[in-house]
């Protein structure tokens, strides 16, 4: 595995941050057993029951992502199920405390917490990570050609809030109305990632606000939103695709969106931002 790909490929649910996997991760994953009922799901020996739960929701999860992304997966999906924290730690260096699902090298690894402590999150988190995997199959995992807010907003949108589920929309609106929200760069910088801490936001708040903004764009004109996603999946530059589709930069439309949220909680003589 190329080092650059590895560095950009690991997606941590807690922040979808990039981090290098173990050198022997591929070897470790080869020890997983394929589930007879659905070989796309592979599990640590002894974790077949967990794998069966994944297999039960995987087809619908894949369909959900493909519908939101407007395209099928470019390659077969593989999901690896860890039945123990030791398994997860072996395959995801240092990530056990922070993540519920990890994607690298076109593989998605699920932590046991999704089957023990947080079973209600299995389906939404699976969809969230499948969204990352879907883009990764076409553009390289967690590509820096697309800003983090778009990656996470799209994944949360596809998952109907999965990944952003620790913050509800009302709390996100209050926070944004108070002036605490992310903003896209004037020009997307493909050499650096801007995560939640850039705006001193909780990760789940960042995901929720990003999801709300993308949901707003989709509601404005789904045909344009669809065109944007397809162009990005074809490798178009982010700023060019966004402006060409919506007729304005992402920053301009985000300023308008968050200004309207503020006006919704105070008296505004007229709507702020772009018409």
> Domains along the chain?
3-139 (3.30.2010.30), 148-263 (no CATH)
> Parallel, antiparallel, or unpaired: how do β-strands 107-110 and 11-12 relate?
unpaired
Residue-wise pLDDT tens digits, 41-74: 999 999 999 999 999 999 999 999 999 999 999 9
* Stated pTM of the model: 0.87
Alpha helices of 92-182 — where are they, by DSSP H? 122-139, 148-158, 169-177
Q: Is the pLDDT of residue 100 over 80?
A: no
Identify which of 167, 166, 138, 160 has the alpha carbon closest to the alpha carbon of residue 65: 160
Could you tell me what percent of the chain has a pLDDT over 70?
82
- Can you say whether the dihedral through the CA atoms of 231, 185, 164, 80 is positive or negative? positive
Identify which of 188, 155, 222, 203 has the alpha carbon closest to the alpha carbon of residue 17: 203
Between 10 and 62, where is the model more confident?
62
Instruction: Give the DSSP H or E segment for 103.
Output: strand 101-104
Q: Is the pLDDT of residue 99 over 90?
A: no
pLDDT of residue 23: 44
Rg of the chain, C-alpha, whole Å? 19
The residue with tokens 């981090």 is: 19
Across-strand partners of 102? 12, 109
Residue-wise pLDDT tens digits, 30-42: 789 999 999 999 9
Between 14 and 81, where is the model more confident?
81
pLDDT band, very low/low/confident/very high, at 91 (cuts 50, 70, 90)? confident
Q: Is the pLDDT of residue 11 over 70?
A: no
Give the count of beta carbons closer than 10 Å to the beta carbon of residue 240: 11
Between 87 and 218, where is the model more confident?
218
């Amino acid at each position: 595995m190329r080092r650059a790909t590895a560095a950009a490929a690991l997606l941590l649910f807690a922040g979808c941050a990039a981090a290098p996997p173990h050198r022997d991760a591929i070897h470790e994953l080869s020890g997983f057993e394929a589930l007879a009922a659905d070989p796309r799901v592979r599990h640590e020996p002894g974790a077949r029951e967990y794998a069966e739960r994944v297999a039960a929701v995987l087809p619908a999860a894949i369909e959900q992502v493909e519908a939101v992304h407007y395209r099928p997966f470019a390659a077969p999906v593989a999901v690896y199920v860890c039945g123990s924290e030791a398994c997860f730690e072996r395959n995801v260096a240092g990530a056990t405390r922070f993540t519920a699902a990890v994607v690298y090298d076109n593989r998605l690894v699920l932590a046991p917490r999704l089957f023990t402590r947080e079973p209600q999150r299995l389906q939404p988190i699976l969809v969230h990570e499948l969204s990352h995997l879907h883009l990764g199959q076409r553009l390289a995992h967690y590509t820096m050609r697309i800003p983090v807010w778009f990656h996470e907003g799209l994944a949360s949108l596809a998952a109907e809030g999965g990944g952003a589920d620790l913050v509800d929309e009302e709390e996100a609106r209050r926070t944004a109305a108070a002036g605490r929200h992310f903003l896209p760069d004037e020009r997307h910088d493909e050499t650096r990632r801007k995560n939640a801490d850039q705006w001193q936001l909780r990760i789940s708040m960042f995901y929720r606000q990003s999801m709300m903004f993308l949901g707003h764009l989709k509601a404005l004109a789904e045909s344009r939103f669809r065109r944007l996603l397809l162009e990005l999946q074809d490798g178009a530059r982010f700023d060019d695709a966004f402006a060409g589709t919506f007729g304005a930069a992402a920053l301009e439309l985000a300023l308008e969106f968050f200004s309207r949220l503020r006006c919704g909680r105070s008296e505004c003589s007229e709507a702020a931002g772009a018409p």
